């Protein structure tokens, strides 16, 4: 029976191998045919031109801008919310706020998208800013949850020591506990970044999806994820290969993020 | 009287402001969706058949349930089996264990659109299943596997060793102990993981568009295409003709998700005190 359980446990390993095999197997040939440099650094995405142009730099830039915008808005609020949950919140309020944060994490991305279409797009148009605000809210609960447990893991005598040295409550929290939990808080930010880069549906609904280099945050932009969903339905041959290669770029980026995360987690334990 | 420094006041203010902002965002989003959607919840929205005039959500609702049941029936045995291996059999720090954990962590971080791409390439094209309930649910099964694995393992580890020792002392073997003693005691934790997984399945869109397709029907068998509630909403937003019905669907989906969260919190609350009486 031990073997049966072991085989079940190997399913995750098999899944990762299959995902790598099929993604790289289908994406890399197209990547080589287009040329890695032309693909990654090309500023024109025009799959129906003759000859077609497959440059995904606008999408890479789009993903980075949207993610940066989401982090700028989401990280401070997320970490401060974590501080509030872990160290400030009265227990009575906690009983409502904590499930509320969990619920915020559980709202499906299409629902966020519908919200964004009606509440953000009329004010900020379909733009980097709209997508950034929406993503900032979406990654907030993830970051708050992880950062909260990191803050809670800091031994209580750190806090008591700070108080004994004359620090006030908030000074002790911000100057002693927060720095002591920095690896965990950083892990929360990295995880939020991974979420933001990988988010698809909500972004498609508010970002405008124009495949061109953006000049300002009020312009529409297409992310890597949006590129795949928008065109996979009708793409064929090299165009299809280029979309899968877009997925490969996204996948490699997420693998790098995961690598950072596990390095951080090792430092925590 | 104790003097409170201005910096202390400032730090208090920004912390409370952040918490208010988070709570405000939640209430605003839920309120907004309810306000836009509730007026359009009509009996015709629950008609048995979808057509372009009456965009009924019932087929999508049924498809969502079928999708959840199928995905769980693939992923749950694997997830529990793996959790049993990690918690009951494996020696800590063993190489295989490190590999399995690394794989599960990797799976947990992969974005859903990448799962969708993989599902399309592997299940839909390579295995030739076309856009189908089966291809979609297999894709989702891989996606929820790390979640089930982690919650299962945590549940098993939270069962006190005295249970196992008692079982061994009464002459039960390892396998009997696992199935008759440890697993039943871990059921609430496993269930909490299952509920969270159902939430992810109900909310998933990107992984399903190119694996299960977008046909709005109650699928006659597992090889037929089906759209879940989330995919249904996305399709409505693309067409742009039935946006109000889209918000009504959002209300239904939101209620499903809130229900799931409440159930998960209840179960988690029960686990807290479950083993203390021993």
Residue A262 has pLDDT above 90, yes or no: no
Digit-by-digit pLDDT tens for chain B (278 residues) are 466 788 889 999 999 999 999 999 999 999 999 999 999 888 888 888 888 777 888 899 999 999 999 999 999 999 999 999 999 998 877 888 889 988 999 999 999 999 999 999 999 999 999 999 999 999 999 999 999 999 999 999 999 999 999 999 999 988 899 999 999 999 888 988 998 899 999 999 999 999 998 888 888 888 999 999 999 999 988 888 888 888 999 999 999 989 988 888 888 777 655 554 43
Q: How far apart are CA B102 and CA A137, in angstroms?
A: 29
| B197 has a chain A CB within 8 A of its CB | no
Q: Is A12 in Cβ contact with B145 (below 8 Å)?
A: yes
Task: Decide if B253 touches A, using CB distance below 8 A.
Answer: yes
pLDDT score for B145: 96
Question: Chains A and B: how many Cβ contacts under 8 Å?
Answer: 249
Residue contact B246–A114, C-beta within 8 A: yes
> HSE (CB half, 13 Å, CA atoms) of B40?
20
Measured over the CA atoms of residue A220, residue A225, residue A228 and residue A233, the dihedral's sign is negative
> Which of A201, A256, A242 lies closest to A225 in space, CA to CA?
A201
Phi and psi at A41, nearest 5°, equal -105, -5
How many residues does the structure list for chain B?
278
- Which of B104, B110, B150 to mutate to probe the A interface, most A CBs <10 Å? B110
Q: How far apart are CA B155 and CA B151, in angstroms?
A: 6
**Looking at beta carbons, which residues of chain A come within 8 Å of B19?**
80-81, 84-85, 88-89, 97
Contacts of B172 in chain A (CB under 8 A): none
Q: What is the pTM of this model?
A: 0.91
| The two structure tokens encoding residue A199 | 């988010």
Domain B56-274 fold: MetI-like fold (1.10.3720)
B237 vs A9, A101, A114: nearest CB: A114
CB neighbours of residue B224 within 10 Å: 18
Q: Omega before B275 cis (within 30°)? A: no
Task: Please state which CATH number belongs to domain A53-268.
Answer: 1.10.3720.10
Q: Which of residues 87-116 of B touch A (CB under 8 A)?
A: 88-90, 96, 99-100, 102-107, 109-116
- In this structure, chain A runs to a length of 269
Query: The tokens of A116 are what?
Result: 């964004």
Contact A115 B146 (CB under 8 A): no
Q: Where are the domains of chain A?
A: 53-268
DSSP annotation of A208 reads B
Query: Which chain B residues are within 8 Å of A140, Cβ to Cβ?
Result: 22, 25
Which residues from A are below 8 Å from B150, CB to CB?
Answer: none
A78 vs A145: CA distance, rounded Å: 9
Does the pLDDT value for residue A48 go beyond 50?
yes
Instruction: For residue B11, give how far its alpha carbon lies from the nearest alpha carbon of chain A (Å).
Output: 6
pLDDT tens-digit series, residues A197-242? 999 999 999 998 998 898 888 999 999 999 999 999 888 889 999 9
Phi/psi of residue A81, nearest 5 degrees:
-65, -40
Residue A208 phi/psi, 5-degree rounding, is 90, -35
Closest residue, chain A, to B209 (C-alpha): A229
Instruction: Find all residues with CB under 8 Å of A220, minimum gap 6, and list them.
Output: A125, A126, A127, A128, A207, A208, A209, A210, A214
Nearest to B253 by CA among A203, A134, A142, A106: A106
Partner residue opposite B22 with nearest CB, options A77, A108, A228: A77
Phi and psi at A221, nearest 5°, equal -150, 155
Res A169 pLDDT > 80: yes
Per-residue confidence (pLDDT) for residue B267, from 0 to 100: 82
B58 touches chain A (CB under 8 A): no
């Amino acid at each position: 029976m031990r073997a049966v359980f072991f085989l079940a446990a190997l399913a995750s390993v098999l899944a990762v191998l299959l995902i790598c095999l099929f993604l790289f197997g289908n994406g890399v040939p197209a990547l080589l045919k287009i040329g890695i440099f032309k693909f990654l650094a090309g500023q024109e995405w025009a799959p129906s031109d003759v000859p077609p142009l497959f440059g995904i730099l606008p999408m890479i830039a789009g993903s980075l801008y949207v993610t940066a915008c989401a982090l700028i808005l989401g990280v401070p609020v997320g970490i401060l919310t974590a501080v509030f949950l872990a160290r400030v919140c009265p227990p009575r309020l906690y009983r409502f706020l904590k499930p509320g944060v969990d619920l915020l994490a559980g709202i499906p991305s299409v629902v966020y998208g519908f919200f964004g279409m009606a509440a953000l797009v009329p004010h900020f148009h379909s733009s980097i800013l709209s997508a950034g605000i929406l993503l900032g809210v979406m990654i907030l609960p993830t970051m708050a949850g992880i950062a909260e447990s990191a803050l809670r893991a800091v031994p209580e005598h750190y806090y008591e020591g700070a108080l004994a040295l004359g620090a006030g409550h908030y000074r002790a929290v911000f100057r002693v506990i927060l720095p002591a939990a920095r690896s965990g808080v950083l892990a929360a930010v990295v995880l939020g970044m991974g979420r933001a880069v990988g988010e698809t549906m909500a972004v498609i609904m508010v970002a405008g999806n124009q495949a061109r280099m953006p000049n300002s945050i009020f312009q529409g932009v297409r992310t890597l994820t949006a590129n795949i969903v928008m065109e996979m339905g009708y793409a064929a041959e090299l165009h299809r290969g280029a979309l899968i290669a877009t997925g490969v770029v996204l996948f490699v980026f997420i693998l790098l993020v995961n690598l950072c995360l596990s390095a951080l987690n090792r430092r925590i334990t | 009287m104790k003097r409170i420094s201005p910096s202390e006041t400032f730090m208090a203010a920004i912390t409370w402001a952040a918490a208010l902002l988070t709570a405000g965002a939640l209430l605003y989003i839920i309120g907004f969706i309810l306000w836009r959607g509730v007026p359009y919840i009509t009996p015709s929205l629950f008609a048995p058949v979808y057509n372009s005039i009456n965009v009924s959500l019932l087929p999508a609702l049924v498809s969502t349930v079928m999708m959840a049941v199928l995905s769980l029936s693939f992923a749950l045995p694997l997830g529990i089996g793996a959790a049993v291996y990690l918690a009951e059999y494996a020696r800590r720090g063993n190489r295989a264990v490190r590999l399995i954990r690394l794989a599960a962590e990797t799976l947990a971080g992969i974005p859903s659109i990448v799962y969708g791409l993989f599902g399309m390439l592997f299940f839909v094209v390579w295995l030739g299943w076309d856009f189908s309930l089966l291809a979609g649910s297999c894709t989702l099964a891989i996606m929820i596997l790390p979640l089930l694995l982690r919650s299962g393992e945590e549940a098993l580890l939270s069962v006190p060793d005295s249970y196992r020792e008692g079982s061994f002392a009464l002459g039960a073997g390892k396998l009997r102990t696992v199935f008759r003693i440890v697993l039943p005691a871990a059921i609430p934790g496993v269930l909490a993981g299952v509920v969270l997984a159902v939430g992810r399945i109900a909310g998933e869109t990107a992984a399903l568009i190119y694996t299960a397709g977008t046909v709005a029907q109650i699928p006659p068998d597992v090889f037929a295409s089906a759209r879940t509630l989330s995919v249904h909403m996305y399709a409505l937003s693309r067409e742009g003709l039935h946006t109000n019905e889209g918000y009504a669907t959002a209300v239904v989906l939101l209620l499903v998700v809130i229900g799931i969260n409440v159930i998960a919190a209840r179960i988690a609350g029960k686990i807290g005190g479950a083993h203390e009486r021993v």
